[in-house]
Structure formats: structure tokens, C-alpha cells
Chain A
Amino acid sequence: MTTTIAFDTRRAAVWAGLSRGWIETRQNFTETAYVVGHAIPPLAFLAVLLFLRGKNVRGTDLALVSMMLPSFVGITIAFGGLSGPAVAMTTDREDGTLLRAKATPHGMVGYLIGKIVMFASTTLVGLLAVVIPGMAIVDDVILDARGWLQVALIFVVGMVATVPIGLALGSLMKSTAQAMLVPLACTVIMGVSGIAFPITVLPTWVQWMAQAFPIYWLGLGVRSAMLPAERAAFEIGQSWRTVEMFAVLGVWAVIGLLLAPILLRRMARRQSGSALAKVRERYMTKGY
């Protein structure tokens, strides 16, 4: 009987979490501050594509933009899954949202489900906002039913591989200002992940570093879905390395799913009214 009650109470929290996800998704597309934040990356990506249209990768017949468009899609997934949750985790901690969740029975379950739904849906919209207009700018990318399916699969795997890591990083960060290191680090890693030029032109040790992170593999995965097979020649090992891609993303997913609950619990344990008062005081005196 006890287990039935526990199941019921948790199910209520799951449903509440889904409603939270829907409410917050809607806010993300109606609140000006959020809308601007979501619009900037796709607009920047599309501007780059327009600007570089007609240029080839140096010394090849590969159109630069046809390589960039799928890579931008990969970045959208990685940023949506890593920096979104990391920053949200610290802002929600500092403004008291997490403490409210903690004061509610199974409130953390509802909170996390809500966040995951919100990150997934906003990332998906961001992805479509790059792909659909991007296809009109770039001629030689193909996106047939199989390609779409592959992109959808990479999106799902990418979310599972990044959101838990993002949440874990966010729970480690002491403040929102510190959490901004996550998008910053992502940007640096992005620079060497074969987005604007083939990764093979970089020194081997840089290639190895880039391959340790999910960003490179997400870009590679989407390129394999959208580019003709012969374009694999520009990749490491002249191959799309699909198995390796899913394996690396899988390892990240496992690491994230193992670490996130431990770090989230540790962080939630420390939440209290006086902890929040300290944050408020810090903001009042220092401003960040």
C-alpha cells in the first residue's frame, strides 16, 4: 500500500512537471528577454551562411556553407543542452525557485521534468530555426526522410548526452556569473570542433582534445545526416564514424546521468532561506 501511495504522489509530480515544462516553454516564446536570447544564435548563424555563400573550403571544391549548416545544427543542440541548463540551474538557485521546489513534496521531480521539457522544446525550435531557412541558403545539403530521422535521433541522443552534464555543471557553479563560464568554454571548444573549417587541418593534439567533447561529435553526426556520402572524405579517417559518434555521446550520457543526481542532491541539500538571503545580500552589495 505504501508503494502505491508513493507511486501516486510521484505520478502527480511528473504530471505537474510536464505542465511546468509547457508553461515555461510558452514563456520562452512570449517573454521579450527570452525571445531575444533565443533569436540571436539562429540569426547569427544565418547571417554567416548568407555572408559566406559561394566560398569554398580553401583548396577544395567543398562549399564552406554546406559544411557549416549541419555544424551549426550540432552546436545548437550542444549549447541548448549544456549552457542552457547550467545557467538556469544557478539563476533558479539564486532567485529561490529551487528552494520552493524543495519545500514542495516531490517538488524537485516536477522541477527537473519541467526543465528538461523546456530545454528540449526550445532547443528543438532553435534547431528548426537554423535548418529550415538554412536549407534555402545552402544548395548542396540534402535532407530526405532518412536524413530527418537521423537528425531527430542525434537531437534526442544529444539532449540525453548534454542536459545532465549541463545540470551537473550548474550545480557545481557558485553563482550565475560563474555559470557563464559554461557557454564561454563551449564557444572555445566550438572553435576547434570542425565548424568553420575541417578539423583535419588542426594539429593532432587539438583534434584529440576536440574529440573528447560532445560538440565535435554532434556536428559530425548532423553532417553525416545532411551531406552526401563522399563528403566524409574531409573528416578524420575519411569516415562519418557513426558508431564512434553514438559511443562517445553514450559515454557522456552515462557520465551525466551518474553525476547529475549526486551533484543536484548535494546542491539541493544546501538550499535554505538563509542561504538565499546571503545570495540576495551579495546581489545588493556587489551587483552580481
Chain B
Amino acid sequence: MDTSSEAPVLALEVRDLRMRYGAKDVLAGVTFAAKRGEVLALLGPNGAGKTTTIEILEGFRLRSAGHVSVLGTDPVRGDEAWRARIGVVLQSWRDHRFWRVRELLAYLARFYAPFATAEVARPWDVDELIDVVGLSESAHAKIMALSGGQRRRLDVAIGIVGRPEVVFFDEPTAGFDPHARRDFHDLIHRLSDFEHTTILMTTHDLDEAEKIADRILVLDEGRIIADGTADQLARELTTAAEVHWTSGGQRHVHAVRQGDPSVFVRALLDENPDVTELEVRRASLEDTYMALVRRVESPGGGGPETSARTPEVQA
């Protein structure tokens, strides 16, 4: 039974996924898909259902309803051969604390060796992997002696030691310093570009999602409320833009809440020939996302208060 040779084009397929605890709908019809090699970021405020979604896809949680397929298999029916093609990066705590880094990776690697196929050589070479995640100097250190960031690098290494075709990351960069974060982003690019690994990660960090994800899914109250690239999302979720300019020695700002800011700019230039330093700023995805979270937290609360900002006066 060689499933990898007939790998479906879609690595992940989720249709109308529902999860209900008692009377509460944690997931109320989630639908999305990922092609092989795609990097998806699942974004959303706390309690939006990110972890529930990822745990259903990992096969660690039973869903209430809906269709889920990971590498062509329903996770509920996923056998050990399927498990071998999935990587799970867990949020570790203090497991295996007396083990040494290389020792634990070499131990876990052994399980994957018989699952190697003609296309996928399993597992990773342990020393190479340690080098890739930047733990060479700690290879023989006890896990309990690692710093938080090093520990997280190890978690990532454990998640990919079997050369998975799909990797699930739950908050992968929590506790990373900027350097570790950068290394992690490079690793994600390497996995998706060279290994065609499909990646689904949850994150709170928008900036990170913008940097590494091909597509961002925004999950809120158990629904996907936006699905697209960072640019698409910024356009889709808000039409707000800010126009900044200098005239009469004063710096001005005007918020365009709706529609194309060009209309305002054209009128502005026609009426004020002394306008200099003209700038049109689209709301960043960050602004958009924060606005969204705020809107969700206070229903009917309206959009972000862009006009509340005081006009800047530049020297």
C-alpha cells in the first residue's frame, strides 16, 4: 500500500468542519484547503478555535461533523503509515528532560526508517537536522539545560525528523528571540520550497504570518472569516487608507474609510497646488487584524478609529 505515489494535489482539505462541546459550537463550519508545498497560517484571537482545528487535523481529536482529509486520509482513520507522513510540533513543557538532544532525535528517527519510500528518504540524518535547526553546539546537552528558544528549536526538529509531507505547528515561535525567529522562517522556506512540505501553523503574530505564509486564514468564533494572501486580506477586510501630505508648512492626515483614495487625492491636488510629500498609506494587515479582533470583541463597535489620530506635525 504505497499512498505517497498517488498523493493527491490537495494535501489538506477541510469542508464544513464542525465541533460542538455541549451547547457551544467551537467550530461552526470551517472550510479551507492547501495544495502540496503551501504554507498556511491560521490566525485568530484566543478561543477562535485554532488549536481545536489543528488537533482535529493531527488526528488527536474527534470532530462533530464535516469532511477532513489530510494527505488523502481522514485523520480519524489514519494508520501508522499515515502518521509517519505527518509532523506535529508540540508545545513542549518538560518531557524527556534527562535525555540529550541528539539521543532523543536519534531515538525518534528510528521509528521512521521503515516508512521511507522511493520519493521520500526517511528519516532526516540526525546530525544534519541538528545543524539545520541550529543546535549543533547543544547536540550533547541535556534537554533540561536548554534555553527556551533552544528547546523550541528541538521541538521543531522532532516535528520534522521523519521528513513529513505535512507539518502542523501550534504557535511555533512563542518564546523565540528575533534571531531564532529568523532562522525558523528560513527553515519554513526551506521545507516548503525544497521538500514540498505542506505547512499549517497557528500564530498570533501577524507580522510572522505575512512573512512566511503563502496564505493566511483568519479564524474567528469558529468560522474562517478571511482566506487569502496578506495583500488580499488587507484589501478584503478593510478599505481604510490614510492620506498624508504637507501644505502650508503643516503636515495633514485624512482617513479614507470607504472606496478608492485616489478620488480624494485627485480633488486634494486640484484644490491645493502647494501639496508636497504626498503619501497614501493602506492600513497594514496588522491594523486590519487588530481592528478585526476589536470588532469581534465589541460587536457593533464599528471600525478602527483612524480619524482619532492626531495629525502629526513634522519639523
Binding site for B on A (CB under 8 A): 1-2, 5-6, 8-9, 11-13, 15-16, 19-20, 23, 27, 31, 34, 92, 95-97, 99-100, 102-107, 110, 271-274, 276-277, 280
Contacts and interface: CB of A to CB of B under 8 A. Distances in A.
Given A95-B94, A105-B84, A100 B111 contact: no
Contact of A273 (B91, B94, B113): B91
Interface string B54-84: 1100101100000000000000000011011
B90 A273 contact: yes
- For this complex, into which size category does the number of interface residues on chain B fall? 35 or more
Contact of A274 (B55, B92, B114): B55
B92 A105 contact: no
B93 interface: yes
B140 to A, nearest CB: 13
Given A27-B98, A273-B91, A280-B93, 20 more contacts: A5-B81, A9-B111, A11-B114, A96-B95, A100-B90, A100-B108, A103-B88, A104-B83, A105-B80, A105-B115, A107-B108, A110-B107, A271-B60, A272-B58, A272-B61, A273-B54, A273-B58, A273-B60, A273-B90, A276-B93
B227 interface: no
A1 B81 CA distance: 14
A105 B83 contact: yes
B168 to A, nearest CB: 9
B111 A110 contact: yes
Given A12-B113, A23-B107, A274-B55, A100 B96 contact: yes
- Interface on chain A toward B: helix, strand, loop, or mixed SS? helix
Contact of B114 (A9, A107, A110): A9
Given A19-B110, A105-B83, A105-B112, A276 B99 contact: no
Q: Pick the 6 closest A-B CB pairs, nearest first.
A: A96-B95, A16-B110, A272-B60, A105-B84, A105-B80, A97-B95
A17 B299 CA distance: 54
B111 A5 contact: no
Given A96-B90, A99-B90, A271-B60, A9 B95 contact: no
Contacts of A100: 90, 95-96, 108, 158
B103 interface: yes
B107 A19 contact: yes
Contact of B94 (A6, A96, A99, A103): A96
Contacts of A23: 99, 103, 107
A92 B97 CA distance: 11
A104 B90 contact: no
B239 interface: no
B162 interface: yes
A104 B108 contact: yes
A104 B111 contact: yes
Nearest to B91: A273
B1 interface: yes
